[in-house]
Amino acid sequence: MAGYIFRRVLQAIPVFFGTTFLIYFMVFAMPGDPIVALFGDKTPNPAVIEQLRQQYHLDQPFIVQYFLYIGGIFRGDFGTSFSGEPVTQILARTFPVTIRLAVLALIFQSVAGIAVGLVSGLRKGKLFDSSALVVSLILISLPIFVIAYVAQFVFGVQLGWARTTVGPGAPLQDLILPAIVLASVSFAQIVRLTRSSVIETSGLDFVRTAYSKGLSRKRIVPVHILRNSLIPVVTYLATDFGVLLVGATVTEGIFNVPGVGNTLYQAIIRGEGPTVVSFVTVMVLLYLVVNLVVDLLYGLLDPRIRLVK
Amino acid sequence: MKIRRIGIGALALAAASALVLTGCSTGGDTPSTSGSNTSIITANGSEPQNPLIPTNTNEVGGGKILDEIFAGLVYYDAKGAPVNDVAESIETDDAQNYTIKIKPGLKFTNGDPVDATSFVDAWQYGALLSNAQLSSYFFEDIEGFSYDADSPLTGLKVVDDTTFTVALTSPKSDFPLRLGYSAFYPLPKTAFEDMAAFGENPIGNGPYMLAGEGAWKHNEKIDLVVNPDYDGGRVPKNGGLSIVFYATQDAAYADLQGGNLDVLDAVPDSAYQTFESDLGDRAVNQAAAVFQSFTIPARLPHFDGEEGKLRRAAISMSINREEITKVIFEGTRTPASDFTSPVIDGWTDKLEGADVLAYNPDEAVKLWAQADAISPWSGTFQIAYNADGGHQGWVDAVSNSIKNTLGIDASGAPSPTFAEVRTAITDRSIQTAFRTGWQADYPGLFNFLGPIYATDAGSNDGDYSNPDFDALLAKGSSETDVDTANKDFQDAQEILLKDLPAIPLWYSNVTGGYGTDVSNVTFGWNSVPLFYEITKG
Amino acid sequence: MAPLEETPLVAIDAVKVDEKPSNLWIDAWRDARRRPIFWISGLLILLIIVVALLPSVFSPVNPFTEKCDLSLSNGDPTAGHPLGFTKLGCDVYARIIFGTSTSISVGFIVILLTTVLGLLFGAFAGFYGGWIDATLSRVGDIFFSIPYILAAVVIMSVLSQYRSIWTISLAIGLFAWPSTARVLRAEILRVKQSDYITASEALGVSKIKILLRHVLPNSIAPVIAITTISLAAAIVAEATLSFLGVGLGGTIMSWGNDINQAQRDIRVHPQTLIWPSLALSITVFSFILMGEVVRDALDPKARALR
């Protein structure tokens, strides 16, 4: 077990280099000079552009820029944004907010999604199943910005149940509405996934054996069916956690959450290489940990699965 | 020009300034004495893109803050007229050499004196090439300025504590008018010790100051309190400002409706149709110093010479500005009748040749046919824009208007990012027309003309050149009488109306609103509310 | 009990040679064609594909040549324009019909991309384990941790001359496959512990044959469940990318683009938003139903239950 974890941690090293390299290259490959854009619709003098390019090492070849950046990371220097703020500081203030939001959304979507999916699967083809399909369909066919605007207008402006945007310090109660909006996107996926898994598990021998042994539904459903249906769902939730961390751009923008998605999007658009790469680096590390935890969780859900040989 | 920064789905930039706000209506000159209100006003803003250094800030997010915490030589009143702030007097005989006297005994909030050196040192810092300040071009006209090497501004001389002189390389009659722009603010001695640290916790001499170290909470807000020592015409009638940063205008608007925001100066386009009914008499929709156009570079095939003139006029006349501003912008834009803005002194809609800006499909078709006789048209007429700035709606509408009138293929050409389209414009690799916008740095006609259409001017992205136009600009710049100068600038515009280097579209209005708790909200010429006048409760 | 010699050995060993060879797919087809849902969803999908291929048959108005009239902005339906007009005064119905091929193509290309890559990476990683798993899974991690917005901005910018359904599908799909791969991998990890797999191994069936014949078909259900929804998600993602400014934009007609354009007027004129969304819902609905049928048909256990 410890050996397995150790190997996984070692594997993080190539992933770290692979990701940072790829990301840095992508930011570099983006057409358009970020320095020119700093001047808005005003055309800057070439001499001033040159000065600024030097200041941000943008005059260096790609590979030099990359190693300057990596070298900095090992000295604890993640670079600075165009606004002069150290990237480490940006990371420190945005990640906690986004993690709060992502965890909240994850809780909402897994609780609601698994519950609805389970009931749908057990009552396949019944009214509840069909209604769940219709609701998931509506949610899936509306882009998130539509859901977010409608939720903000109805619950924030008209009913006044929630603050329209997230207030200073991003307190938990302000994050509930954006979290529900975020959760709505994956809700449909989790319902379908749980449902399909539950249907499959219900047909397995051990479930039939359990019924024929005369065990009650109350025991069979959670212990035999649900537990054995969770593997694909848990895997999906783990990948979704990654999506929630960065993919919350639109929702964070609409609810003005000072989190990762929002900041990262601005940095991408502005072509701030160091900021983008640092964010993604932290993302990757988080993501590797989550994946490791999930792989270990498989063993708990289905003791037959042994990753460790 | 200051940049209005793009948020997701936000209306991006016109270029845009955020100068000093102000307005010295009644009693502005005397500090409010009795029962000074202590309520904090919350207003929308956006995270500054650069450290808060006056010469390094060229976008509205930072500009809005700088204008509150600094006082320059002059500020602009609500109508855009300059009023002395720190300056005692600004004098010249020839529009080229200026003597500036400042009020004695003024101090920065850290106790450093505000004297002639505070200005001269700040300007020298801003102009120096190796400091690479974003607003360095504001010092271009001062003697000694160079883009080739570090070179001091030899045109600046400190005479005594309260007097300094400025020598320009050529007459610029609107120079005193420019001095309210943030690039010309003074800096305290401490700033030069560590400019990076200063940019994080700036120390100014304006009506407000930062509420202590770390008042700038990145990506969240900045808290300002009243500077008790400020003694100009902008003494606050409230207890302070909390400028909340929004990623999108939609979020800010939702907060205004939800009662979390007192004053909003940018209504999102999704609310154009409803904001006046949502807010009633608390809605603001008034002209602003923002001019929108699209530029057709002369190097594009078919757009040069006589053929080019005919085609430009035909395209201009095929755009139904009236209908587009009404339908797409819900009346938050005003069809253009010149190349400047109605809030600028000297603006007129009576320029000769301005009828080329009116929708006239028959004449457009006729002119287009005449051009075809010179050289037959082929291809698609495209307008490039950045897709991250909410421009698609009007670009499509303008293209449709051209397409429907002239019967040619016309469409928008979106680029994903602002950087991409600006780079293509800057290095002249762009092969289509492109959207252009200008928000005045200071309220003068010249600012809308000189930087954009003068031969070899910095922002002359279409490489337009007309000696007659240049001569009229130079003539206007050397007049010391404002009205005579404005007449020259109007004459210069009549040349532009014939050549149409850019096709004027419309003037942006400032759209905003305020909550039920606040009153005395007026918006300045530069689209920013006069925060110091606002009272709450 | 009959004496042993009374049962001819030949009878026991006899193989019914006259019966058609049966495999998973034939069984699945036999099962599916008996279900009405299969035919309903099949017809819907067929209709959508026909609309995508021959839009002009369904819409007399050609939105590419028809003038959009601003004075009809957000207008109500009139004769010949059954769903009214968009903000720019274009025919909503015609745009939906002509946008079908774009949206369907984006959806198909994306799921093709994610499913093929996801199957390859997921199947090999889960089945073989060890260093193959480590390598493939970590490659997946790299791709997955790149924010798709960054990917989209970069791909759409670098290929801006070739802005088309292909580039946007690439932008959406190239970085989305790891979630399919991981779900499949997880399911395979579970399935490969089953007795029938151990039995096949004991019988000496080759590894690759076990994977293709036994493991994959038994692990495919969650992939199908995800894929049918991913189709919808991909079509919607195109709208979200338009919202962020890196969509198709310009002159290419698509439901996503129309939804994005309509969202600004959602409070005043929701109808221009509802119609393209409805088209999207119906499409997604038919594919989800089809996915259900296919999933059930491929799963002998679920079949047995009915």
**C167 has a chain B CB within 8 A of its CB:** no
Counting every residue, how long is chain A? 309
**B411 has a chain A CB within 8 A of its CB:** no
Give B93-134 as a DSSP string: SSSSEEEEEE-TT-B-TTS-B--HHHHHHHHHHHH-GGG--T
For residues A286 and A214, membership in a common domain is answered with: yes
Q: What is the pLDDT of residue C22?
A: 61
**C160 has a chain B CB within 8 A of its CB:** yes
For residues A241 and A102, membership in a common domain is answered with: yes
**C268 has a chain A CB within 8 A of its CB:** no
A31, pLDDT greater than 60: yes
> Average of pLDDT values for B377-406?
88
Distance from CA of B9 to the nearest CA of C (A): 7
Cβ burial C168-185 (10 Å sphere, 16+ → b, else e) = bbbbbbbbbbbbbbbbbb
Matching residue, tokens 């002119």: B367
Cβ(C157)–Cβ(B424) below 8 Å: no
CA angle B174-B176-B182, nearest 5°? 105
In this structure, are strands B208-210 and B163-167 parallel, antiparallel, or unpaired?
unpaired
**C272 has a chain B CB within 8 A of its CB:** no
Q: Tell me, rounded to whole angstroms, the distance of Cα B530 from its chain centroid.
A: 16
Query: A288-292, B140-144, C10-14, C163-167 — which is least confidently predicted?
Result: C10-14
Domain range for A240 is: 90-305
In angstroms, the CA B536 to CA C4 distance is 106
Partner-chain contact B137 A45, CB within 8 Å: yes
Q: What is the pLDDT of residue B113?
A: 94
Count of domains forming chain A? 2
A82 found inside a domain: no
- Which residue, A74, A101, A133, sits at the end of a domain? A74
In this structure, are strands B163-167 and B156-160 parallel, antiparallel, or unpaired?
antiparallel
The domains of chain B, with CATH numbers, are 8-24+35-258+515-536 (3.40.190.10), 287-510 (3.10.105.10)
**A140 has a chain B CB within 8 A of its CB:** no
B204, pLDDT greater than 90: yes
B171, pLDDT greater than 50: yes
Query: B9-23, B185-199, C205-219, C224-238 — which is least confidently predicted?
Result: B9-23
Cβ(B44)–Cβ(B261) below 8 Å: yes
For residues A142 and A243, membership in a common domain is answered with: yes
Cβ(A270)–Cβ(B5) below 8 Å: no
A83 found inside a domain: no
- Which residue, A16, A43, A74, sits at the end of a domain? A74
Mean pLDDT rounded to a whole number for chain A: 82
In angstroms, the CA C287 to CA C232 distance is 9
A80 found inside a domain: no
Instruction: Please report, rounded to a whole number, the percentage of residues in chain C having pLDDT higher than 90.
Output: 8
Cβ(B98)–Cβ(B155) below 8 Å: no
Give me the helices (H) in B108-245, please.
Answer: 116-127, 175-178, 195-200
- Substitution target in B5, B270, B320, B395 with the highest count of C β-carbons within 10 Å is B270
Q: What is the pLDDT of residue B355?
A: 92
Query: A100-104, B135-139, C267-271 — which is least confidently predicted?
Result: C267-271
For residues A43 and A116, membership in a common domain is answered with: no
For residue B209, give the H/E element and its range.
Answer: strand B208-210
Residues of A in contact with B196 (CB under 8 A): 84
Of A196, A239, A250, the CB nearest to C144: A239
For residue B84, give the H/E element and its range.
Answer: strand B82-84
| Chains contacting B (3+ CB pairs below 8 angstroms) | A, C
For residues A96 and A20, membership in a common domain is answered with: no
* Amino acid identity for residue B73 in this structure: L
In angstroms, the CA B473 to CA B488 distance is 7
In angstroms, the CA A77 to CA C138 distance is 26
If phi > 0 it is left, if psi is from -120 to 50 it is alpha, else beta; for residue C186 that is alpha
A79 found inside a domain: no
Mean pLDDT rounded to a whole number for chain C: 80
Instruction: Please report, rounded to a whole number, the percentage of residues in chain B having pLDDT higher than 70.
Output: 93
**B389 has a chain C CB within 8 A of its CB:** yes
Q: What is the pLDDT of residue C4?
A: 47
A27 found inside a domain: yes
pTM over 0.90: no
For residues A9 and A146, membership in a common domain is answered with: no
User: Which of B448, B420, B402, B433 shows the shortest CA–CA distance to B502?
Assistant: B433
> Average of pLDDT values for C184-211?
83
> Average of pLDDT values for B78-90?
92
Query: What φ, ψ does residue A238 adopt, rounded to 5°?
Result: -65, -45
C21, pLDDT greater than 80: no
For residues A25 and A128, membership in a common domain is answered with: no
Residues of A in contact with C295 (CB under 8 A): 196
B8, pLDDT greater than 50: no
pLDDT band for C13, please (50, 70, 90 cuts).
low
Give A201-250 as a DSSP string: HHTSHHHHHHHHTT--HHHIIIIIIIHHHHHHHHHHHHHHHHHHHHHTHH
Instruction: Please report, rounded to a whole number, the percentage of residues in chain C having pLDDT higher than 70.
Output: 89
Partner-chain contact C222 A196, CB within 8 Å: yes
In angstroms, the CA B21 to CA B442 distance is 11
- Which residue, A74, A100, A123, sits at the end of a domain? A74
Report how far apart, in Å, the C-alpha atoms of C112 and of each of B167, C123, C180 are: 69, 16, 11
**A152 has a chain B CB within 8 A of its CB:** yes
For residues A45 and A182, membership in a common domain is answered with: no
Partner-chain contact A305 C158, CB within 8 Å: no
- Substitution target in A5, A146, A286 with the highest count of C β-carbons within 10 Å is A146
Cβ(B275)–Cβ(B255) below 8 Å: no
- CATH label of the domain that carries residue A274: 1.10.3720.10
Q: What is the pLDDT of residue C250?
A: 62
Give just the sign of the alpha carbon dihedral B431, B434, B440, B446.
Answer: positive
Residues of B in contact with C69 (CB under 8 A): 404
Distance from CA of A33 to the nearest CA of C (A): 13
A14 found inside a domain: yes
Partner-chain contact B270 A55, CB within 8 Å: no
Residue A98: burial class (beta carbons within 10 Å; 0-12, 13-18, 19+): buried
* pLDDT, greater one: B90 or B26: B90
For residues A46 and A179, membership in a common domain is answered with: no
Residues of C in contact with A17 (CB under 8 A): none
Of B4, B422, B436, the CB nearest to A32: B422
**A269 has a chain B CB within 8 A of its CB:** yes
Residue numbers of B between 238 and 267 with CB closer than 8 Å to A? 244-248, 250-252, 254-255, 257-258, 260
**A206 has a chain B CB within 8 A of its CB:** no
For residues A22 and A164, membership in a common domain is answered with: no
Of C129, C144, C183, the CB nearest to A242: C144
| Chains contacting C (3+ CB pairs below 8 angstroms) | A, B
User: Which of A70, A54, A63 shows the shortest CA–CA distance to A28?
Assistant: A63
> Average of pLDDT values for B40-44?
94
In this structure, are strands B333-335 and B240-245 parallel, antiparallel, or unpaired?
unpaired
For residues A132 and A17, membership in a common domain is answered with: no
Distance from CA of A261 to the nearest CA of B (A): 11
Report how far apart, in Å, the C-alpha atoms of B280 and of each of A146, B269, C246, C264, C266 are: 26, 17, 36, 21, 20
What ipTM does the predicted assembly reach?
A: 0.79
A194 found inside a domain: yes
**B421: closest chain C residue by CA:** C157
| Chains contacting A (3+ CB pairs below 8 angstroms) | B, C
3-state secondary structure of C163: coil
Q: What is the pLDDT of residue C299?
A: 65
3-state helix, strand, coil in chain B (%, to 5): 35, 20, 45
pLDDT band for B18, please (50, 70, 90 cuts).
very low
Residues of B in contact with C247 (CB under 8 A): 387
pLDDT band for C17, please (50, 70, 90 cuts).
low
Residues of B in contact with A263 (CB under 8 A): 219
Report how far apart, in Å, the C-alpha atoms of C282 and of each of A125, B493, C35, C254 are: 19, 56, 20, 15
A234 found inside a domain: yes
Q: What is the pLDDT of residue B498?
A: 93
Q: Which of A181-190, B359-368, C129-138 reaches the highest mean pLDDT? A: B359-368
For residues A276 and A137, membership in a common domain is answered with: yes
User: Which of B136, B183, B177, B204 shows the shortest CA–CA distance to B18?
Assistant: B183
| Cα Rg of chain B (Å, integer) | 23
Partner-chain contact B387 C251, CB within 8 Å: no
